[in-house]
Amino acid sequence: MQILIGPFSQIVTLRNLSLKGPLADEALEIIAGGGILMEDGLIKAVGFFEKLSMQFPKAQPDLLDIPAVLLPGFIDCHTHICYGGNRSRDYAMRVAGKPYLEIAKAGGGIWSSVQMTRAASEQELLDSLLQRIKRHADEGVTTMEVKSGYGLNLENELKMLRVIKQASGLTIADLYATCLAAHIKPRDFNGTEKQYLDYIITGLLPAIKQEGLCNRVDIFIEETAFNTSDANAYLSAAKKLGFDITVHADQFTAGGSQIAITCGAVSADHLEASREQEITALAKSDTVAVVLPGASLGLGMHFAPARKLLNAGACLAIASDWNPGSAPQGDLLMQAAVLGAFEKLSTAETFAGLCFRAAHALRLHDRGIIDEGKKAHLQAYPTNDYRDILYHQGKMKPFKVWA
Ligand SMILES: [Zn+2]
Residue-wise pLDDT for 147-205, tens only, equals 999 999 999 999 999 999 999 999 999 999 999 999 999 999 999 999 999 999 999 99
How close is the Cα of 321 to the center of ligand 1, in Å? 5
Q: How far does residue 138's CA lie from ligand 1's centre (Å)?
A: 22
- Cα 191 to ligand 1 centre (Å): 25
Gap from CA of 370 to ligand 1 centroid (Å): 28
Query: Residue 39 forms beta bridges with which residues?
Result: 2, 42
Distance 188 CA to ligand 1 centre (A): 22
**Ion ligand 1 neighbours, Cβ < 5 Å:** 321
Pairing of strands 378-381, 400-402: antiparallel
Q: ∠223-329-169 over CA atoms, to 5°?
A: 95
Q: How far is the CA of 11 from the centre of ligand 1 (A)?
A: 32
- 69 DSSP β-pair partners: 10, 381
Among candidate residues 12, 92, 54, the one with its CA nearest the CA of residue 328? 92
CA distances from 93 to 86, 96, 110 (A): 14, 5, 15
According to DSSP, residue 254 is labeled S
pLDDT at 326: 94
Q: What is the pLDDT of residue 152?
A: 98
Cα(139) to centroid(ligand 1), Å: 20
What is the rounded distance in angstroms from the CA atom of residue 294 to the CA atom of residue 304?
Answer: 11
Q: Of all helices (H) and strands (E), which one includes residue 118?
A: helix 110-119
Q: Residue 146 in contact with residue 65, Cβ under 8 Å? A: no
- Using the mean position of ligand 1's atoms as its centre, give its distance from the Cα of residue 248 in Å: 6
Residue 132 CA, ligand 1 centroid: distance in Å: 16
Q: How far is the CA of 294 from the centre of ligand 1 (A)?
A: 10
Distance between Cα 8 and ligand 1 center (Å): 36
Query: How many angstroms separate the alpha carbon of residue 203 from the centre of ligand 1?
Result: 23
| CA distances to 187, 238, 254, 267, 310 from 285, in Å | 36, 20, 17, 10, 13
Looking at 139-287, list the stretches that DSSP marks H as alpha helix, in order from N- to C-terminal side: 154-168, 193-199, 205-211, 228-240, 256-262, 276-284
Helices 110-119 and 154-168 cross at an angle (nearest 10°) of 70
CA of residue 33 to ligand 1 center, whole Å: 40
Q: How far, in Å, from the CA of 184 to the mean position of ligand 1?
A: 12
Q: What is the pLDDT of residue 132?
A: 98
Residue 202 DSSP code: I
Find out whether 142 and 111 touch, Cβ atoms under 8 Å. Answer: no
Task: Calculate how far, in angstroms, residue 323's C-alpha sits from the geometric centre of ligand 1.
Answer: 7
Residues 6+ apart with CB under 8 A from 92: none
Q: Is 103 helix (H, G, I), strand (E, B) or coil?
A: helix
Residue 327: closest CA among 229, 251, 399, 223 = 251
Rg (CA), the chain: 21
> Residue 92: which of 81, 106, 82, 111 has the closest Cα?
106
Return d(Cα 309, Cα 271) in angstroms, integer.
10
The whole-number pLDDT of residue 101 equals: 77
pLDDT-flagged residues of the chain (< 70): none
List for the chain the helix, strand, coil content (%; round to 5): 40, 20, 40
Inter-residue contact 75 to 368 (CB < 8 Å): yes
By the 8 A CB rule, do 205 and 238 touch?
Answer: yes
How far is ligand 1, taken at its centre, from the CA of residue 372, in Å? 33
Handedness of CA 202, 234, 229, 225 (dihedral sign): negative
CA of 27 to the centre of ligand 1 (A): 32
- How many Å lie between the centroid of ligand 1 and the Cα of residue 220? 8
The pLDDT assigned to 100 comes to 78
